Amino acid sequence: MTAFTRRAALLGGAAATALAACGQKASDTLTPASGPMAAKAVPPEGWESGLTIASRIAAGETTSLAEVEKAIARAEAVNGDLNAIATTSFDQARAVAAHPAPGTFSGVPTFIKDLLDWEGTQTLWGSRAFVGNISQKDSPFATAWRNAGVVSLGKSTTPEMGLTSTTEPLVTGATHNPWDLSRMPGGSSGGAAALVAARVVPFAHASDGGGSIRIPASTCGVFGLKPSRGRLDARNAGDAPPVDISVNHAVTITVQDSIELFRVAEKNDGAYTPLGEISTLNRPLRIGFAPESISGTHVSPETTAALEDVAQLCRELGHEVRDYKVPLNGAEFTDKFLMYWAAGAAEFAQQASAYSGKPIGPDIVEPWTLGLVSMFQARQSEFPEIIGYLKAFEAAYDDWFNDMDVLLTPVTGSPAVPIGDQAPDGDFDTVMESVLNFAAFTAPMNVSGAASMSVPLSWSSGGLPIGSMFSAKRGQDDLLFELAMQLEMTRPWISRTPPVSAL
């Protein structure tokens, strides 16, 4: 590509503004080794990070109850527009806030995604089949967050069983994007990303089985890192599926909140070296730039331009950015992953039937889920071969990094699409086409177990966020955090708030 030589055109308004604020030219941009500081990141008035809130509570400058009440007020102010809360547990939160557990985030209010068991609260799994399902105990990941002292205000919305890239479940209705209420917030952690983007809470729990942290982080303009497989507490022992694609973590505004949330949930079982000291990256990286979809689906011109701009920004930071063609039969990979995804839908439908006492059908699960079930049933005999292909993929993915450190791609094929384009009760084939075009980049990192993140560095001409996805090998979460801190310092996003905001 010739985009990297079009330096003046591609640097972008956001970067130019940041550089002008500290009196520097594009050619003076911070390099990994040295250089002037970028524009100071100034939070919007009335907003504080999770770590700041926790430190103020610890210092006696505020109380957990006071912070919980403020967060409840913020939630009530915007949720009528966003519809991002599946279940509230405000009274339970007030009781917990009176004596929060000690920990890194002691007393800090947040929301838990409606796919995670949090003792004493309803877990719908985004489904009508599970109305009234009260969790009797925490999941392992929830325990880690509870031990860190967080206070849950309730459950954030998610599509049915997290099975699609929008958040429009029939049980609670569509969740709206705070940057444009006619647009979806992404999925499946759409409610979490919408609440964080609207500054209701500084961070929220999220999970990612095929892009479900990174996609809504991109469409809502927040930071979201998908941890390496097995790095954080995720599930009960013995519950791992044949190919473990799903992880838990968070969506945040600041990178530092994400780092510390990562620390409190680390398993530290010897499989990985615990996350050490993380500082701003101070060395150049070899970055492979792959702006095209692996399966050849359409990528919007604004998304391509945004990623070219970010690639140029990385060059300005001293990194070596080279064009990269992903060595993968994208159509084959997408087909295999989609069939594995459909198998998960079939398993969920059985669980919904068992819980509700009703046969699998449109009364208990959504048409989108039923369509995936039908796909699986039609090709169920292929499942052993599909598992073998996906298990072998991690080694193939690792080979991509023989000559590079990090891969830069879009997160999605376009900014957030209109609500209804991926509605779970829409025509199955039409919805499938929209999903495959939109969510075309994230699944390889789930299958490989790799670390991957969406960084909010760009906005469209219409004001919609466009995330940039940086991915590394499994276990290199620290490298991505270091790069994220460098990008956050160079092109800060903390002051950018959407039209629908609780501040």
pLDDT class for 235, splitting at 50, 70, 90? Answer: low
368-388: average pLDDT: 98
Q: Provide the residue ranges of all domains of the chain, joining segments of one domain with +.
A: 12-25+33-490
Contact 161/115 with Cβ under 8 angstroms? Answer: yes
Q: How confident is the model at residue 233 (pLDDT cuts 50, 70, 90)?
A: confident
Q: Is the pLDDT of residue 38 over 90?
A: no
Pairing of strands 406-410, 452-459: unpaired
Strand, helix or coil at 109?
Answer: strand
CA gap 349, 366 in Å, rounded = 9
Torsion of CA 359, 363, 368, 373, to 10 degrees: 0
Alpha helices in 357-455, H assignment, sequence order: 367-378, 383-399, 428-438, 443-448
CA distance 422 to 219: 15
Confidence of residue 240 (pLDDT cuts 50, 70, 90): confident
Residue in the block written with tokens 């390889």: 444
Instruction: Identify the pLDDT of residue 484.
Output: 98
Model pLDDT for residues 439-452, shown as the tens digit of each residue: 999 999 999 999 99
Q: Which residues are catalytic?
A: 113, 188, 212
The per-residue pLDDT for range 41-53, each reduced to its tens digit, is: 799 999 999 999 9
| Cα three-residue angle 98-110-198, rounded to 5 degrees | 130
Average pLDDT, rounded, for the chain: 92
19, pLDDT greater than 70: no
Is the domain defined by 12-25+33-490 classed in CATH 3.90.1300.10?
yes
pLDDT band, very low/low/confident/very high, at 365 (cuts 50, 70, 90) = very high
- Which of the two residues, 10 and 301, has the higher pLDDT score? 301
In the block, residue with structure tokens 């789930």: 446
Can you give the pLDDT at residue 242?
94
Asked if 208 and 246 touch (Cβ cutoff 8 Å), the reply is yes
Split at pLDDT 50, 70, 90, the class of 29 is very low
Q: What one-letter code names the amino acid at 195?
A: L
| pLDDT at residue 22 in the model | 30
pLDDT at res. 237: 57
Q: Where are the alpha helices (DSSP H) in 221-276?
A: 255-265
Note the pLDDT tens digit of each residue in 325-342.
999 999 999 999 999 999
**pLDDT exceeds 70 at position 21:** no
Q: How confident is the model at residue 314 (pLDDT cuts 50, 70, 90)?
A: very high
188 upstream amide cis, omega within 30 of 0: yes
Q: Give the DSSP H or E segment for 126.
A: none
Tens digits of residue pLDDT in 193-232: 999 999 999 999 999 999 999 999 999 999 999 999 999 9
User: Is the C-alpha dihedral spanning 325, 327, 329, 335 positive or negative?
Assistant: negative
**69 touches 95 (CB < 8 A):** no
Task: Return the DSSP state at 44.
Answer: P
- Beta carbons of 93 and 87 less than 8 angstroms apart: no
Structure confidence at residue 258 as a pLDDT band (50, 70, 90): very high
Q: What stretch of H or E contains 247?
A: strand 247-252
- Contact criterion met (CB below 8 Å) for 203 and 251: yes
Q: Please tell me the distance from the alpha carbon of residue 449 to that of residue 446, in angstroms, as a whole number.
A: 5
